[in-house]
């Protein structure tokens, strides 16, 4: 197997793809956001529990390829117990990781374990797989923020 | 035409029933197939999406632009007459190809999708009333679902769906029950793009006609793989695309019975489709030009003509026999793989195999196969209701043409071994 493929399907990705973590429905979530890729049919639901602008719990369910499942699983591990604003920064950094030819050292350090998904940048048709869960996160946080605004006004 | 004189068939062109075709030599007519992908010999197994083009087609298009290019049906000069002749010659070839009664029944469009939209807008929409039904099957491509939904939305008509069994075959008893006094049109695929099923269209047309219901066949996956005779079938409309039949993209055919086409209003207005225009009133042109507004894809149609010549020279007896051989070989090899499930086990199948693996999603399969030089399709194949019917999110699909060979299929099987290595 060649290097590009090995870089894409690292063991962490195979492991999380096969056994996604936090793969369940969340009781009483603040929001549940569907992510759907009409090109391939991958579909997931992301559950978020938000309190005082902080993600206190997250989980997901769905069907998809190893890349979309692993990416979402790894994302959830990382976003638990962080402020919403930091999750939004992570989204931006992750986007750079999978689309930029050579992301900066700062970006790589910031993303840590999530950099295993960097190999996807050599597979343009698979970038949407890697970002599916992340787009659901962004939409979910935007919705949660607007709901919170509505509820506090 | 001298362009196909280099055709490599030995003695078969005069007697296509004798399978003496040198398939290896024939493969070399398709220049794209000799390339490598990821340092491996390319095994192109996505022919249901589009087919590769023989030199004869590529050369016909180049020749047209080098020597014959002018607008058609307009100029009173030799060049324009030659362009018109080449363009119209393809219409005769399509007429022969489908065994249509008249060349006026052959309308050039952009593809099978546009052909179905034309029928939806020009035939169905003016005729439908609230409560009327259009009957389609559960194995349709989106292009034979959405145009009808759009028309239903405008008219208040409804879609009714013929169910399919677990082998991916039309349930004819249910079809019989669904044909009723509200049914205005049956629109079904001749061959399923996602499952490979060849539908019993002859029988279905007879059943519909017993109730005086017209039938449209979506022949996108059939026309290059089976012999089609629209008069024997007695279908009211038949649609297919050039690019799935070894011709260029951007050209397709709508065949319609003359009496239907005569009664239909044009779908689009513009140049070429008129006989006289005044601000008060426009007279439409006669068939087939009434439905061909604007300058058509002349070079594409000329290239398509070369593709039809090529297909005729190979002969459908040979094509069907060779593609069934490849289907049987691939089915045997794939069904022997533990953890692989073929979706679509119709008794009568074209050379399309959809499958899923227990251990890997079709997208992952496709990426890994790509690195083994194998091009297959992964996804829902523009047939999301089919995926739902078989309860899978997506499938991997290998679809074969006569230029494929056993080595391509072996390469697919070796590629799948890599998938298993990684995922199980």
| B371 contacts on A by Cβ (under 8 Å) | 1-2, 4-5
Over chain B (424 residues), what is each successive 10-residue block's mean pLDDT?
42 51 97 96 98 98 97 90 96 98 98 98 98 98 98 98 98 98 98 98 98 98 98 98 98 98 94 90 93 96 98 97 98 98 98 97 96 95 92 95 98 97 90
Residue B267 included in any domain: yes
Q: Which residues of A touch B423 (CB under 8 A)?
A: 14, 18, 66
Residue B51 lies in a domain: no
Which domains does chain A possess?
3-148 (3.90.1010.10)
B-side interface with A, Cβ within 8 Å? 38, 360-364, 367-368, 371, 378-380, 384, 387, 393-394, 418, 421-423
User: Which of B245, B280, B312 is the C-terminal boundary of a domain?
Assistant: B312
How far is A132 from A44, CA to CA, in rounded Å?
8
Q: Shortest Cα distance from A123 to chain B (angstroms)?
A: 8
B324: CATH: 3.90.1150.10
Residue B104 sits in a domain whose CATH number is 3.40.640.10
CA-closest candidate to residue A151, choices A43, A18, A46, A52: A52
Token pair, residue A54, equals 């902080």
Residues B79 and B152 both lie in one domain: yes
Decide which of B291, B312, B333 is a domain's last residue: B312
Is the domain of B191 the same as that of B173?
A: yes
Q: Give the residue from B312, B347, B366 where a domain finishes.
A: B312
Question: Does residue B396 share a domain with residue B305?
Answer: no
* Mean pLDDT on A24-46: 91
Q: Is residue B307 part of a domain?
A: yes
Q: Assess whether B296 and B320 both reside in one domain.
A: no
Domain annotation covers residue B332? yes
Asked if residue B219 and residue B364 are part of one domain, the reply reads no
What distances in angstroms separate CA B391 from CA A63, B133, B380, B388, B394, one per listed residue? Answer: 12, 27, 11, 5, 9
Number of domains in chain B: 2
Whether B399 and B341 map to the same domain: the answer is yes
Q: What pLDDT score was predicted for residue B81? A: 94
Q: What is the pLDDT of residue B1?
A: 38
Distance in Å, alpha carbon of A82 to nearest chain B alpha carbon: 32
ipTM attached to this prediction? 0.90
Tell me, yes or no, whether B143 and B132 share the same domain: yes
Query: Are B127 and B158 found together in one domain?
Result: yes
Residue B382: active-site member: yes
Q: What are B331's two structure tokens? A: 């089915």
Please report the DSSP string for B335-401 in residue order: HTSTTEEEE---SSB-SEEEEEESSS-HHHHHHHHHTTTEE-EEE-TT-HHHHHHTT-S-EEEEE--
For residue B140, the enclosing domain spans 60-312
Q: Are A35 and A87 in contact (CB under 8 A)?
A: no
Domain annotation covers residue B54? no
pLDDT tens figures, A83-119: 999 999 999 999 999 999 999 999 999 999 999 999 9
Residue B6 within any structural domain of the chain? no
- Whether B289 and B300 map to the same domain: the answer is yes
């Amino acid at each position: 197997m060649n290097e590009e493929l090995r870089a894409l399907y690292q063991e962490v990705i195979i492991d999380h793809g096969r056994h996604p973590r936090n793969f369940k429905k969340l009781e009483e979530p603040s929001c549940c956001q569907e992510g759907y890729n009409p090109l391939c049919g991958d579909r997931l639901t992301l559950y978020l529990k938000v309190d005082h602008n902080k993600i206190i719990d997250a989980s997901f369910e769905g069907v998809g390829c190893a890349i979309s499942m692993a990416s979402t699983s790894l994302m959830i591990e990382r976003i638990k117990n962080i402020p919403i604003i930091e999750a939004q920064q992570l989204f931006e950094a992750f986007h750079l990781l999978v689309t930029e030819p050579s992301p900066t050292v700062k970006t790589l350090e910031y993303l840590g374990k999530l950099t295993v998904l960097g190999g996807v940048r050599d597979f343009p048709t698979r970038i949407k797989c890697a970002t599916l869960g992340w787009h659901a996160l962004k939409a979910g946080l935007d919705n949660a923020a607007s709901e919170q605004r509505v509820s506090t006004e | 035409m001298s362009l196909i004189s280099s055709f490599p068939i030995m003695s078969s062109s005069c007697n296509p029933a004798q399978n003496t075709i040198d398939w290896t030599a024939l493969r070399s007519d398709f220049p794209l197939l000799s390339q490598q992908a990821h340092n491996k010999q390319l095994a192109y197994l996505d022919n249901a999406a589009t087919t590769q083009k023989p030199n004869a087609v590529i050369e016909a298009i180049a020749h047209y632009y080098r020597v014959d290019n002018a607008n058609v049906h307009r100029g009173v000069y030799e060049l324009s007459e030659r362009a018109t002749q080449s363009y119209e010659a393809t219409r005769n070839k399509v007429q022969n190809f489908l065994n249509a009664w008249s060349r006026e029944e052959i309308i050039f469009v952009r593809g099978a999708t546009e052909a179905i939209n034309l029928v939806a807008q020009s035939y169905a929409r003016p005729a439908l009333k609230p409560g009327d039904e259009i009957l389609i099957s559960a194995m349709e491509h989106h292009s034979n679902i959405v145009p009808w939904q759009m028309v239903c939305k405008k008219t208040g008509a409804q879609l009714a769906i013929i169910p399919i069994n677990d082998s991916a075959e039309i349930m004819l008893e249910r079809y019989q029950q669904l044909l009723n006094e509200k049914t205005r049109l049956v629109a079904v695929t001749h061959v399923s793009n996602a499952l490979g099923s060849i539908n019993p269209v002859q029988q279905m047309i007879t059943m519909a006609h017993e109730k005086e219901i017209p039938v449209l066949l979506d022949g996108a996956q059939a026309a290059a793989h089976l012999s089609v005779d629209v008069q024997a079938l007695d279908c009211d409309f038949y649609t297919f695309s050039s690019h799935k039949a070894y011709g260029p993209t951007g050209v397709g055919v709508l065949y319609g019975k003359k009496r239907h086409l005569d009664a239909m209003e044009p779908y689009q207005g513009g140049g070429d489709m008129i006989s006289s225009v005044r601000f008060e009133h426009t007279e439409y042109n006669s068939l087939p030009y009434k439905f061909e507004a604007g300058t058509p894809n002349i070079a594409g149609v000329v290239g398509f003509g070369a593709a039809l010549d090529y297909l005729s020279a190979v002969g459908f007896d040979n094509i069907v026999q060779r593609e069934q051989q490849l289907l049987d070989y691939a089915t045997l090899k794939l069904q022997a793989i533990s953890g692989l499930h073929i979706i679509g086990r119709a008794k009568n199948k074209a050379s399309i195999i959809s499958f899923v693996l227990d251990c890997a999603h079709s997208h992952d399969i496709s990426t890994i196969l790509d690195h083994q030089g194998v091009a297959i399709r992964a996804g829902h194949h523009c047939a999301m209701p089919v995926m739902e019917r078989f309860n899978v999110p997506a499938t991997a699909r290998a679809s074969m043409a006569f230029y494929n060979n056993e080595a391509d299929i072996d390469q697919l099987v070796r590629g799948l071994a890599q998938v298993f290595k990684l995922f199980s």
